[in-house]
A and B are shown apart, each in its own frame.
Chain A
Amino acid sequence: MDERAKEIRRLKETLDKKIAEIHDLEELVNKDIDRTFPSPVEEFSEKELTTYIRECLSSIDIDLEFKPDIRAITSHRKTLGKPIVFLKRAFLETTFRSIDSFLDKQIHFNRQISALCRALLLRTSHSRERMKQIEERISGCEENLAILKNKLENLRSGPEPLKNRPTVRPLK
C-alpha cells in the first residue's frame, strides 16, 4: 500500500470513529435538515382532505377546554418567592374571574364548532356513500346496455336467410 492510500485510510479511520459517536444527522452534515412545509388544501385530493380534516379536528379537541392554570405559577426565590406567587395568583384569579364568562362562551363556541365540523363530515360521508351507490347502479345499467347493444348487432349480422326472412307471411 502506498503512502497516499495509508494516509487516506488513517484519515478515514479517524473520521469513522467520530461518525460512530454522532447519532444526530444534523450534526453530521452541519446544518438543519428538518423544515416545515405549508399545507396547500386547495390542491388536496379527497383522500388527503379526509386525513387533513381528521388531524385538524383532533388538534381542536386538544385545545377545546383550554383555561390557564394558575397553580402552574411558582417561584424559585427563597424569601421573595412566596409573596410574588401569592400576588400573581391573586391578580390572575381576579382577572380570570372577570373574563371567565367570556372564556365559558369561547369554550361553548369551540365545542359547537367541533360538533358542527363532525356533523358536516358525517353528512359528506353519507352523501358520498349514496353517490357511490347511484354510480354503481348507473354502471350496472351501462353494462347491461353494452351487452344488449352487442346482442342486437349480433342478431343484425346473423345468417343472411334469417336476416331477410319476412316478418309477415304474404297472402296467397
Chain B
Amino acid sequence: MTAHAPKNVFLSMKNRKLDSLTALPELSEAVEDISISQGIQAAYNYLLRAEVIFNLRKPSLAVYDHAFHFIGGAQKYGLTLISALQDQFDITIIANQEVRHEDFSDWYDLDLSKCKIKVIKLPFFEERKAFHLDPAFITHDVKNPFHLISQESGHYDVFVNNSMNEMVYPLSHISVLICHFPERRPQSYFYADQYTYVICNSRYTAEWIEKKWKFTPHQHLYPPVDMESAETGFPKKKNILSVARFEPEGTKRQREMIETFMKLNREWPEIVTGWTFILAGGSNPNNPYLSKLEETIAENPDQNIELKINVPITELKSLYQESTIFWHLCGLTHEDPGEIEHFGMTTVEAMQNKMVPIVYDGGGLREIVDHGLNGFRVQSKAELLEWTITLFRDQTLVQKLSQSAQEKARTYARKKFEGRVKVFFDEILKRMTSPDVFKT
C-alpha cells in the first residue's frame, strides 16, 4: 500500500497548465496508486471521470429496478426521473426481465427512446421461475444474486437504484438510492448507507429511514404526478373510483372497500341509487386475491361494482375524469408501517381530476389529503361510510372540496418534480466534473 494520497491529475493539469501529453505519465501513476490503495474499481471510476472531465463523452447514468417489467408507482417515479435527464446523460435502464420502450410509453406515457434498455437475468430467480423478484428470499446463507447488478453498476458514472432493494452494492463513483420505503432493517447484504445520496419519496418514508436505518436521507422528492387533463368541464358521473394494484396479500384493501359498498347498497339502497363503484388496478396473472374479488362480484351482480384490470392509461384517464369520489384504504388495520401507503400517487392523480378523496388516515396520505379542506381521512370503514354519505347528500360540498383537491394536487405536478430533479443532478454533475472538488 502506498502511504501517500493519489495525485489529483485533473487539478495539477489545471493549476500548472500542463498540456495533456505531459500529464499522461501522472495519470497512469495515479491510476496505479488508487488501484493499490482503494481497489481496482476506484481506479476505473477515476478514468471514467477523466473521460467526462476532458469532454471525451457524455456522462453515463444507469437506473436499476428489479420490477421494471410490470406497472408500479415506484417504477414510474424512477423512469420519470430519468426522462428529465435524457439530454444531460447517456442513460441505460437495467431490468431483470424483458421490457420494451413501448411498455413504458403505454404504462406511464413516457418517451424514453433516448435511453438504452439492458436486461440482466439473475440465475437465482430464473431457476425458480419467479416473475416477482422478491429480495426477501435472500438471507445470509444464500449467495447475494444482486451482486451481478453491483458489478454492472461499476460501468457508469452515476448509478441510480430505484428498487426497494438495498442489497445492491454501488460501485460507481456517484450512486443514488431512491428509497420508496425502508422495508428491511439492516441485516445481511445491507448497503443503503454505502450510496452517495439517498432520496426518499415522502416525509413518512424519511421518518422510517431514520427509525430503521439510523440515518437521515439526503433529499426528499415527492413523486411526480401528471394526470390532470388539459380539457376542463368534463361531465362527472356518479362513480366512486379506487385505483390500486391488486396485491395478492390484499394490502390495498379492495375487499374491505367492496364490503363497505355492498353494505351501503344493502342497508340504504335509496342513497346509493345510480352510484357505481369501480376498482381499477394492475395485477399479476393468477392472482388468488383478485379471483376472490371477481367471485364476490359475480355472486352479487346487482351491486354496481366493476373491476378494471391492467387498463391502458387512456382508459384510466377517462375513469379519473368521469368519477366523483375516490376511495383508498391502503393501511387500514395494518400494524406494519411498510403496509401503509408510503405516499399515494393514485390519490394525487384523482385529486388532479377534481375527485374528492376519502382515504385512510395514515402514512404518506396524511401529507396529501388535508381533512375537511380537500378530502377526508378515515380510520375505519364506518368513517368511510359516514363521509361518503355526507358527500352523496351535499353536492355543494363536493364542488368545494374537488376544487381545493385539484389545487393541492398541482403541487405534485411532473414539471415541478422535473425541475427539482434537474437541480439535484446538476449539482451531482458539478461535483463530478469539477477538478477543484476532486475526491477519489
The stretch among A14-22, A63-71, A86-94 that forms the contact with chain B is A14-22
Across-interface contacts of B51 in A (CB, < 8 A): 5, 8
Contact A28 B171 (CB under 8 A): yes
- In the complex, the chain B residue whose C-beta lies closest to that of A50 is B336
The answer, yes or no, to whether B187 is at the interface (CB within 8 Å) is yes
Contact B54 A147 (CB under 8 A): no
Complex Cα distance A8/B212, Å?
42
Given A11-B28, A33-B169, does the pair A135, B54 have CB atoms closer than 8 Å? no
Contact A28 B39 (CB under 8 A): yes
Contact B380 A22 (CB under 8 A): no
Question: Told that A15-B40, A142-B380 touch, could you supply 11 new A-B pairs with CB distance under 8 A?
Answer: A8-B50, A8-B51, A8-B54, A11-B31, A12-B48, A28-B39, A28-B40, A33-B194, A37-B187, A39-B185, A139-B381
Binding site for A on B (CB under 8 A): 20-21, 23-24, 27-28, 31, 35, 37-44, 47-48, 50-51, 54, 56, 147, 150-151, 154, 169, 171, 185-191, 194, 211-212, 260, 263-264, 267-268, 271, 333, 335-339, 380-383, 385-386, 389-390, 393
Complex Cα distance A44/B44, Å?
41
Complex Cα distance A145/B393, Å?
17
Contact A33 B187 (CB under 8 A): no
Contact A12 B47 (CB under 8 A): yes
- In the complex, the chain B residue whose C-beta lies closest to that of A33 is B169
Binding site for B on A (CB under 8 A): 2-5, 7-8, 11-12, 15-16, 18-19, 22, 25, 27-31, 33-35, 37, 39-40, 43, 45-48, 135, 139, 142-147, 149-151, 154
Across-interface contacts of B194 in A (CB, < 8 A): 33
Contact A146 B389 (CB under 8 A): yes
Contact B27 A28 (CB under 8 A): no
Complex Cα distance A150/B388, Å?
11
Contact B267 A147 (CB under 8 A): yes
Contact B47 A48 (CB under 8 A): no
Given A28-B39, A29-B42, does the pair A43, B389 have CB atoms closer than 8 Å? no
Contact A142 B336 (CB under 8 A): no
Interface of chain B: mostly helix, strand, loop or mixed:
helix
Complex Cα distance A145/B383, Å?
10
Contact B47 A25 (CB under 8 A): no
- In the complex, the chain A residue whose C-beta lies closest to that of B190 is A37
Contact B389 A150 (CB under 8 A): yes
Complex Cα distance A16/B155, Å?
10
Complex Cα distance A113/B20, Å?
73
B189 interface neighbour in A34, A39, A146, A149, Cβ under 8 Å: A34
Across-interface contacts of A149 in B (CB, < 8 A): 386
Give the Cβ gap from B252 to chain A, nearest Cβ, in Å: 17
A4 interface neighbour in B24, B38, B386, Cβ under 8 Å: B24
Complex Cα distance A52/B254, Å?
29
Across-interface contacts of B190 in A (CB, < 8 A): 35, 37
Contact A144 B47 (CB under 8 A): no
Across-interface contacts of A143 in B (CB, < 8 A): 260, 263, 381-382, 385
- In the complex, the chain B residue whose C-beta lies closest to that of A21 is B40
Contact A3 B24 (CB under 8 A): yes
Across-interface contacts of A8 in B (CB, < 8 A): 27, 47, 50-51, 54, 56
Please name the 6 residue pairs, one residue from A and one from B, whose CB atoms are nearest each other, closest first: A30-B39, A142-B382, A4-B20, A37-B186, A47-B336, A28-B41
Complex Cα distance A54/B138, Å?
16
Contact B336 A45 (CB under 8 A): yes
Q: Can you list 23 pairs linking A and B with CB atoms under 8 Å apart?
A: A3-B20, A3-B24, A4-B21, A4-B54, A7-B24, A8-B27, A8-B50, A12-B48, A25-B169, A37-B187, A40-B185, A47-B339, A48-B185, A139-B380, A142-B380, A143-B260, A143-B382, A146-B386, A146-B389, A147-B263, A147-B268, A147-B385, A154-B393
Across-interface contacts of B186 in A (CB, < 8 A): 37
B335 interface neighbour in A28, A43, A46, Cβ under 8 Å: A46
Complex Cα distance A22/B189, Å?
19
Complex Cα distance A37/B43, Å?
30
Contact B154 A19 (CB under 8 A): yes
Complex Cα distance A8/B43, Å?
11
Contact A47 B335 (CB under 8 A): yes
A135 interface neighbour in B271, B333, B337, B382, Cβ under 8 Å: B333
